[in-house]
Amino acid sequence: MEEKSYKEYLQHITTFIFDVDGVLTNGNVNITTSGELLRTMNVRDGYALKFAVNAGYNVAIISAGQNEGVKLRLEGLGVNPVYLGASNKAKQFETYISKNNIKAKNVLYMGDDIPDHAVMKRVGLPSCPQDAVPEIKSVSKYISHKKGGEGAVRDVIEQVLKVQGKWEF
């Protein structure tokens, strides 16, 4: 049987779920003298997240990280829920889709490292940034040409919305 092109899955996506570190950020952490961990997010990724929310898509975050600043930023864009401290991402994913009556085949999940692997094997369109680890690239149906924190999120959201006629530019 011939493998489907990732573009064949775009039409059926209703839900976006993203990891944070290495996907919405470049994976680097700056540490202040007080021990605070600082991350940088791409504003174009933020625009795409807000656009997807406003277009009626489910947009969620599942991250093992626990930075409240990250949560505030994402909630400010309308992303809900933002699950932080998710030590078992697959369990959190199953709870989320069950609670919201979402079919796994309609989910695009973007991750970049080993903790994302179990979820990525369950979703319709597993995807990753260009700089993801090899184990994640091997299970991804789409590998963005953009790196984490440098527009990979915008890339996948824009592609889905364009195929579905909801990217109005």
What is the β-pairing status of strands 30-31 and 125-128?
A: unpaired
* Torsion region of 41: left, alpha or beta (phi above 0 gives left; psi -120 to 50 gives alpha): beta
Alpha helices for the chain (secondary structure H): 7-10, 43-54, 68-76, 89-99, 117-120, 134-139, 152-163
The CB-side HSE value for 163 (13 A sphere, CA atoms) comes to: 15
Check whether 21 is labelled as a binding-site residue. Answer: yes
- Angstrom distance (rounded) from CA 60 to CA 16: 6
Residue ranges of the annotated binding site are 19, 21, 112
Residue ranges of the annotated binding site for Mg(2+) are 19, 112
Residue ranges of the annotated binding site for substrate are 21
